[in-house]
Amino acid sequence: MNPYKKNVFILLSLCFLDMLSYAMFSPLAAFLFLDGKFSLLPETVSNRHFLLGCFLSIYSVMQILSAPFWGQVAIALNKKKVLLFSYLGSILGYTTCMLGIYFKEITFFFIGSFISGTTGSNMAMVNAFISQDENRRHWSQIYSLFGGVIGLAWIIGPQAVKLIMLKIDNFNLYYLVLIICTCISIMNFISVKINLKEEKENSYFKFKKANFFTIFSKKPTVPFNKKSLFILMYMFCIYFSWFYFLKFFQVILFDKFYLDETKCIEMTSFLGLSCAVWQLLRFLNYKNWFEKKFWLTLSTALMAASTVFLMYATTINELMITVIVISFSYSVIIPSVVALFLSEGDGAKELKASWYQSAQSLAKILSPLLSGYVLSYSEISPILVSSFFLCFAFFILLSMETKSKKYSEVLSS
């Protein structure tokens, strides 16, 4: 088998298992903060949504601070070693969260998220591996395939947790899920160590003697131009809206639609199913016009409109329609724009992927923090903020028309 195709297959399995563990733990994590039988917060705590936002953000805060550094390390050493270290951090992070259940102390979950975020460069390295293919048109298509795999994980993960909840209705549920997540991280570590191969390539710059001091003392390089910066800003706005929707989906179901824990998890699986279907359809029916500006502009407008509609959704059927439309818009936008960003300008792909992950992580921070804060005042305030960012993304896209070539021209070059 072609080494690149073999790596893609391995990376797909890593991505699926990594997202599977996150999809199992993430729905349960919200219940530790919300008022209910699994809450680890005292009954007197009133700012539960804000604390949940802080917890959801700390992982991304550390990614922003560490991602450019890990990009430098990947060039100095290699992407495989960075990926190995990332899974070691995941193992330690999940183990720390288990201590939080044992001591009934929410602080351990913040520490575990801190550790995982500091070492969490796995997706940046996966993107860098994918971009080794000389045919740039393949990047967008492969990113869709990875998106489909992530969606599949979000179908299976919550359903697996639901089945466990039918048997275990106490804190042992968290022990079991965290043990499964830890084992998955150990499996990924072993898989990377044994199976993943990295081709030697000329880097943007090289270290003659790579060691911790020379890597750490090297100032982070900014490997993109003005056009790339516009693309990065656009991606940030799209991610902000998506992460608000994704990270507070449980809160919307729990507080607005009054669903119990089991029903919340079923709806989370439906969200994963919708994402998986759209991404796989995009992969199987890839068209050149997926990369054109009119299609991306239309998808951005559709995502904004469906987010506004979320304010007025009062029934489960209306919510399901909103989920389908938002996931469709996100699924057709992100693979195209990620491929465009990595193909634009010069510079090492490892650095570009790391800066891309930093922008994504910044959206992960601001979205739950800002949404958690304004949610304390009104349940529709986060939706208004999210809609504003989507409108801003829409105008960024329009402003790029006279500043850059068509997306299809860039991707075909």
Domain membership flag for residue 31: yes
Domain membership flag for residue 203: no
Q: Is the pTM of this model over 0.85?
A: no
Domain membership flag for residue 103: yes
Domain membership flag for residue 166: yes
Domain membership flag for residue 83: yes
Predicted pLDDT at 223: 53
The whole domain housing 102 covers 3-197+215-412
Task: Give the pLDDT means over successive 10-residue stretches in the chain (413 positions).
Answer: 79 93 88 86 82 83 84 83 93 96 93 93 83 69 85 88 89 95 96 82 42 48 69 89 78 78 82 87 80 86 90 87 92 86 71 79 77 66 80 86 45 43
Predicted pLDDT at 381: 65
Predicted pLDDT at 213: 45
CA–CA gap between residue 300 and residue 332 (Å, rounded): 10
Q: How many CB atoms lie within 10 A of CB 216?
A: 10
Predicted pLDDT at 133: 67
CA–CA gap between residue 309 and residue 324 (Å, rounded): 12
Contacts of 363 (CB under 8 A, 6+ apart): 60, 236, 237, 239, 240, 242, 243
Domain membership flag for residue 307: yes
Predicted pLDDT at 412: 44
Predicted pLDDT at 137: 64
CA–CA gap between residue 247 and residue 30 (Å, rounded): 9
Predicted pLDDT at 401: 53
Predicted pLDDT at 380: 62
Q: What's the CATH number where 111 sits?
A: 1.20.1250.20
State how many domains the chain has: 1
Domain membership flag for residue 204: no
